Structure 1
Amino acid sequence: MSAPAPSVIDIASQIQVNAAIVDNYLRSNSLPPLSLAEDAFPFFPGTGPTAIDPFPSVPTEVAEARRSLRDSCELLLHLASTPAEVLFWNIACSHHHSGACLQYVYHFSLADAVPLKDQISFSDLANKTGVDERQCTRILRMLMTQHVFYEPVPGHVSHTAMSKLLTVPSLRDSIGYLLEEGFIGAGKISEAAEKYPGSQERNHAPWNVGHGIDLPTFEFFETSPKRMARFFGNMENMGGQDSYNIRHLIDGYDWEALGAGKVVDMGGSTGHVSLAISKKAPKLNFIVQDLENVVHDMRERTNEQPGYEKISFEAHNFFTPQPVKDADVYLLRFICHDYSDKYAAKILQSLVPALGPKSKVLIFDGVMPAPGTVGRLEERKARYVSPSTT
């Protein structure tokens, strides 16, 4: 039997305390206020991608107050809504209502068609994007209930901070990847479990069942450059989020101590991680390995770009024996989590013969927290599993 929840009054009091801590921090440091307006700063200052977030890291006590504030707000919402409403409207309906509406916006590029710092009529928006006006209106008004777009005057639509983010290429790619790859597989989890009970094969995922494709996800992407490019855009966006930020890898390992050593960035896609490390340890040499199409594209794009002088690209399937011997570091950043235990082990087994006496295998991946040891929202993010690859 679960422990009794605190009263709504107690929760509201805790919300007030933590809200004051967060608000005081923002005000006293002249940081952007929290807002959903179109011109709002889209991140909590100090938690966004370092390339566009110039603000200092958030102090521990403020980060904890913010975490507690978010958890308490959701708990208060759930208590006030009652279990029946939360189960039906917040959980069951969100998948095929909010997700489907957002997929529609992505698919027809509606966010790009809404002018920044201005408004457009539903009629003009529909004509501009080639969609049905009535359907478009209903879908956007549904998303407006979650602060994605808003209706400044009847019959017109403008951006909010959230809808404006859909015009940012890398974040748009993430939304597209989730809703046009993962979303299709999400409804097939049970069917895949029945069809392939206990299977660890790479082509037995819900994504395969949903899309009717027999190839493993990434092998199929090799045949579809547009979908592969969208996946890499998604990875670029994820890499900018605080928990995925490259700075954790850069600051968490003594790269400079390797001197003029060699780093093999396995599954390194565009080489953005190697490039970031090289700025801290400029003497290092990097070999970025990925699929043939990716490598060919990156060779063309980076041939004369500054910063890539010590970064080379090599086509390699990491399920086959590693061709580069005795490297100082073999880096697997967010690789193993994409595969079942069977294939994660195969990646490491294929690497072993190449290891020299001083070689290190550096695995940088998520570690699941023990239940109840972090905030509920943080644990939910950690337990998020994409149906496209599981």
Structure 2
Amino acid sequence: MASVSTLRLLANLISQAVDTIEGVYASADAAPPQLDKPWDPKDPSEALGQDPTITEAKTTLVAAAAQLLVTIRDPISTLLSISDGVPLLACLRTISELNVVEILREAGPQGLHTKEIASPSKVNPDILARMLRFLATNHIFYEIAPDVFANNRISSSLDKGKPSAVLFNKPEERLTGTATAAALMEMFGDEIIKSFAQLTETVLDPSGEQSPMKRALGVSSSESLFSWMMRPENRPRANRFNIAMHGDSQREQALGAIFKGMAFHVFMPVSNRAGKGFNWSELPSGGILVDVGSILPSRVVNQDFGPVLEKAKVHWQENFPEHIQKNLVEFQAHDFFQPQPVKDADVFLLRHITHDWSDEKTIEILGRLCDAAKPTTHLVLIEHIVPSVAEEPASIKAIPGAPRPTAPAPLLPNFGAASSAIYFRDMMMYNLGGKERTIANFVQVFDKAGWNLVRIHRIPGMEQCHIVGVPA
């Protein structure tokens, strides 16, 4: 009997995934979201799309569909299609800065002609139509009639949630108070495109002094990108970067996953099964948590630079006034490259800090914490983990919590294109001078900084992991 072809195996995986997804929606008497309809995050069908069964099926479907496409397509066409990404990003940035999504939201489902879309910004309606048609061909926006466009599920996710008139009248405040998507696409279409254009030159530079983004933006090798962004003339870039990296809705979702069941300042016993996150109930009552980098509004000792601490104080006062009144939180100005002043911490928590820095700098940061640690202190990093495309070696699988699901054949073990975001994020962090890490990378920097990596907690429904270490 002839063996089943790879094409048929991939098609079968797609069919099975569709059956699974339709089955979950049918059981809930609901329909999957429609591409040509605006995105409504409050729609029950959107929430149902986060069901673990659907999420798993979607991952397989995306991986199989992408692999089926590149398997059947000729290699040159595949390579040429990659070039679509640059102009697509540039178009997304342009339409976001022209507030096209908000104009079309106000126009409603009947859409609007490009002459009217272009009117508030006084741009050329012909080039606007050409950009929107390119985007619509890639399923972003919907062309109802020639030169008449409306939002669809993807384009409407870029909605800044403000009236278009307000956006045009106060352009400097366009992104303030918005979710991440618009700021992210504008940043990708600006700094990220420019920095990726410098990737080859950076890799070939034997000095290794400049990151691609510093090279693209003209930042000197002696100045950090973060300090450069804090210059008054660069504040618009810094504000956009901050919104893109730390959208309010995403941050609030992360808080619940990290600190659910934990009282501020005093660690309370909580039920926390393996694989559900760092077990805060292991810590003593009254234990001290040091949030290094001051990312989350949940800390005992909240450390960062002065300006960030001032914002943190406002956030605490507005959202957790009782903790301020009870003196359950301390704000402490600190540079994490300097000796750590807190010597009795039970936990040093760093959320999305180490990915900003090279291995050398990360070892320096973690080494300062190790110098101040007690024998019982835990180090908890909340970061993404880059999986190998191939199956992980036995030494990595032996770390508790390290093993992750592998894809069924003939998919790549890491689910291929369905996992592409973490690899893109790693390249983006290289542009910034940082690094997303594999488990092996984390083991190496922990070891050189004086820590043993003892466990990884994978959080269901979230990309971030809790990577736990103890003093070596």
Q: TM-score range by the shorter chain?
A: 0.7 to 0.9
Residue 349 of structure 2 is aligned to residue 331 of structure 1: yes
Closer/same/farther in 2, CA of residues 100 and 304 from structure 1, 3 Å limit: closer
Instruction: Give the Å deviation of 1:38.
Output: 2.8
Q: Which amino acid aligns with 1:263?
A: L
Residue 265 in structure 1 maps to residue 291 in structure 2:
yes
Report if aligned partners of 1:42, 1:162 keep a CA contact under 8 Å in 2. no
Corresponding position of 1:211: 217
Q: Give the superposition deviation at 1:16.
A: 1.6
Kindly indicate whether residue 126 of structure 2 is the aligned counterpart of residue 101 of structure 1. Answer: no
Equivalence for 1:220:
228
Kept after mapping to 2: 8 A contact 1:45/1:56: no
Task: Describe the shift of the 1:162–1:254 C-alpha distance in structure 2 as closer, same or farther (beyond 3 A).
Answer: same
Q: Which residue number corresponds to residue 126 of structure 2? A: 134
Query: Match for residue 15 of structure 2?
Result: 16
State the secondary structure of the residue aligned to 1:303.
helix
Compute the displacement of 1:266 (Å).
Answer: 1.5
1:78 counterpart = 2:70: yes
Alpha-carbon offset, residue 18 of structure 1: 1.9
Asked whether 1:388 is paired with 2:431, we answer yes
Evaluate the alpha carbon distance shift between residue 380 and residue 39 of structure 1 in structure 2; reply closer, same or farther with a 3 A threshold. Answer: closer
Look up the equivalent residue of 2:52 and give its one-letter code: V
Report the secondary structure of 1:383's partner residue: helix
Residue 69 of structure 1 deviates from its aligned partner by 1.3
Give the conservation status (yes or no) of the 8 Å contact 2:289–2:347: yes
Instruction: Give, in whole Å, the separation in 1 of the partners of 2:11 and 2:21.
Output: 15
What residue is the counterpart of 2:140 in the other structure? 148
Aligned letter for 1:22? Answer: I
Map residues 187-198 of structure 1 onto 2, 5 A cutoff.
187-197=197-207
Going from structure 1 to structure 2, the CA distance change for 1:113 and 1:137 (only over 3 Å counts) comes to: same
Aligned counterparts of 2:195 and 2:58: Cα–Cα separation in 1? 33
Partners of 1:174 and 1:237 within 8 A in 2: no
Deviation at 1:75, TM superposition (A): 1.9
Instruction: Give the whole-Å Cα distance in 2 for the aligned partners of 1:26 and 1:13.
Output: 20
Match of 2:367 in 1: 349
1:181–1:322: structure 2 CA closer, same or farther, 3 Å change rule? farther
Q: Residue 175 of structure 1 is aligned with which of 185, 193, 199?
A: 185
CA offset at residue 337 of structure 1? 1.8
Identity of aligned residues (%): 23
* Residue 296 (str. 1) matches residue 310 (str. 2): yes
**SS in structure 1 of the partner of residue 37 of structure 2:** coil
CA 1:31–1:234 in 2, change beyond 3 Å: closer, same or farther? farther
Letter in 2 for 1:71: A
The alpha-carbon distance between structure 1 residues 374 and 193, as it changes in their structure 2 partners (threshold 3 A), is closer
Aligned-pair CA distance for 1:179: 2.5
Contact 1:326–1:357 (8 Å) recurs in 2 = no
389, 399, 402: which one aligns with 1:371: 389
3-state SS of paired residue (1:97) = helix
* 1:54 shift after superposition: 7.7
2:102 is aligned, of 92, 97, 112, to 112
- The equivalent residue for 2:60 is 68
Where do 5+ consecutive residues of structure 1 fail to align? 275-284
- What SS class does the counterpart of residue 320 from structure 1 fall into? coil
Tell me, yes or no, if structure 1 residue 166 matches structure 2 residue 172: no
Question: Are 1:371 and 1:379, in contact at CA under 8 Å, matched by a contact in 2?
Answer: no
Which residue matches 2:464? none
Deviation at 1:155, TM superposition (A): 2.4
C-alpha separation in 2, matches of 1:5 and 1:376: 21
Cα distance in 1 for partners of 2:43, 2:15 equals 18
TM-score normalized by the length of structure 1: 0.81
> Deviation digits for residues 321-361 of structure 1, max 9, x if unmatched?
22233122111122212211111111112223322343221
Change (3 A) 1:235 1:43: farther
The CA distance in 2 between the partners of 1:128 and 1:122, in whole Å, is: 11
Cα distance, 1:83 vs structure 2: 1.3
Q: Distance in 2 between matches of 1:255 and 1:57?
A: 26
- Determine the C-alpha separation between the residues in 2 that align with 1:264 and 1:68: 39
Shift of 1:121: 2.0
Instruction: Tell me if 1:254 matches 2:264.
Output: no
Residue identity opposite 2:360 in structure 1 = K
Deviations 1:61-81 (A, max 9, x none): x44332221111112222343
> Aligned partners of 2:235 and 2:329: how far apart in 1?
23
In structure 2, C-alpha distance between the alignment counterparts of 1:73 and 1:125, rounded to whole Å: 35
Q: Quick one: which amino acid aligns to residue 11 of structure 2?
A: A
Cα drift, residue 312 of structure 1: 4.2
**In structure 1, what is the Cα distance between the partners aligned to 2:30 and 2:16?**
19
Quote how far apart the aligned CAs of 1:190 are.
Answer: 0.8
Cα distance change of structure 1 residues 54 and 368 upon mapping to structure 2, 3 Å threshold: same
Distance 1:171 1:261 in 2: 37
Instruction: Output the aligned Cα RMSD.
Output: 3.0
| Alignment coverage as a number of residue pairs | 360
Asked if the contact 2:140–2:152 (Cα under 8 Å) also holds between the matched residues in 1, the reply is: yes
Query: In the superposition, relative to structure 1, how do residues 378 and 18 fare at CA in structure 2: closer, same or farther (>3 Å)?
Result: closer
Whole-angstrom distance in 2 between the partners of 1:253 and 1:139: 46
- Matches of 1:43 and 1:160, distance apart in 2: 16
Q: Is the 8 A contact 1:267 1:335 kept in 2?
A: yes
